[in-house]
Amino acid sequence: MTQGAGQEPVVRTATLRDFRVPPYAQTPVPPQAQGAPPSSVPPHTTDPHPPAPGAPVPPTAASAPPHTAAPPRAPHPGNAVVGDEQPEGYTPTERDLPVIRRGDKVQVQTVTEPRSDEGRGPLFVVGDVHGYLDELLAALGEQGLIDAEGNWAAGNARLWFLGDFTDRGPDGIGVIDLVMRLSAEAAAAGGYCKALMGNHELLLIGAKRFADTPVNSGAGTATFQAAWLLNGGQKADMDRLQDVHLQWMSRLDAVVEEDGHLLMHSDTTAYLDYGSSIEDVNDTITAILTRNDADECWDLFRKLTKRFAFRDEGGSQAVRELLATYGGQRVVHGHSPIPYLLGEVGTEEGDDSSGPVVNGPHVYADGLAIAMDGGVTMAGKLLVVQLPLHD
């Protein structure tokens, strides 16, 4: 039911069961963030062991000296806080929900937003960003997803980023901070903003965790640090990289299905090596990153860096294999710039006169695949597109 103007939010009692909790959600919340200190609410209405007559009475919570709150911290860019803390209201995936024990009851304030006929807002996807924050803000604004101040303005719309937020461009951490902030704002408005794991997220995680540790690359030894630099790693991103960013990237899903669209970063069938269902793939990749083994992480990065599986002869069959395994009617991916898929060559210097012209997604492989990387790093276009496409 649609809430009318001025109508009070509906308060309901719900019993939620055994959701998984991310590591950062296990940190106790400081009392000043919870309203009244816990000591001001006694566990019993009467003391089961009253003091003996004449014994000194301990001070009550009301008589205890008040807690002095720490001065407020300056906001971090994108509203992502520095250190191990988590941005308020952030929910990267459905798996990152707080644990509420079986039988617990909570008061949930529900504000009903206008919905589409299927109960969900329109679906948008974003191609590779690679640190081009200004271009991203402009593209999101053109689609009405954010306002002039960069805040979520799309109500119950659904927005998926297909990965590769950093490297090559000037402000990869600023891009991550924006996506994290929009995630909280979209959830508060009844929609959501979520993101997938790209190979450059794996590369940045590896460069931070393992640096110059040698790994078995299959063709001798290599290091994540060298590979990160070779693939456009930016020192400014590494200097600003915080634990909250690493935690966020490490828990991103690799594959999802939305409205018949199988969303993934890379145009490869290597996802099949990690499970026969979407849940298996995502859980397996999360487990690999949790184990923190350099060689295992390198092998994952290497496989998800493969490309062009859908482009040439047999490409449509490769897409069909993925769809038959994970569901959906079309694969939507980033990773391989559309000019490369078309056999064109762009420039890294931004010379539009010789660069490719990309006006929208590239549909190929018998109409079964949609490429979303417009080649923003080679004078192309950063694509933000509503699905489904109307051919």
pLDDT of residue 217 exceeding 90: no
Mean pLDDT over 251-274 rounds to 98
Q: Report strand pairing: 106-110 vs 10-14.
A: antiparallel
Q: What percent of the chain has pLDDT over 90?
A: 62
Residue partners of 107: CB distance under 8 A and separation at least 6: 11, 12, 13
Mean pLDDT over 215-244 rounds to 93
pLDDT of residue 129 exceeding 90: yes
pLDDT tens column, 328-370: 999 999 999 999 999 876 444 444 445 568 889 999 999 999 9
pLDDT of residue 135 exceeding 50: yes
| Residue 243, H or E segment | helix 243-250
Note the pLDDT of residue 59.
43
Report d(CA 321, CA 340) in Å as an integer: 23
Q: Between 45 and 173, name the one with better pLDDT.
A: 173
pLDDT of residue 133 exceeding 90: yes
CA proximity to 256, closest of 274, 281, 275, 276:
281
Strand intervals (E) in the chain: 10-14, 106-110, 123-126, 158-161, 192-195, 215-216, 221-222, 255-258, 261-264, 330-333, 362-364, 369-371, 384-387
pLDDT tens column, 8-54: 444 333 333 333 333 333 334 343 334 434 333 333 333 434 444 44
The number of beta carbons lying within 10 Å of the beta carbon of residue 141 is 15
Note the pLDDT of residue 272.
98
Query: How high is the mean pLDDT of the chain?
Result: 78
pLDDT tens column, 276-318: 999 999 999 999 999 999 999 999 999 999 999 999 999 999 9
pLDDT of residue 212 exceeding 90: yes
Strand intervals (E) in 85-208: 106-110, 123-126, 158-161, 192-195
Note the pLDDT of residue 325.
98
Cut 0.85: pTM above it? no
Mean pLDDT over 358-383 rounds to 95
**Paired tokens of 368:** 């079964």
Total residues found in the chain within this entry: 391
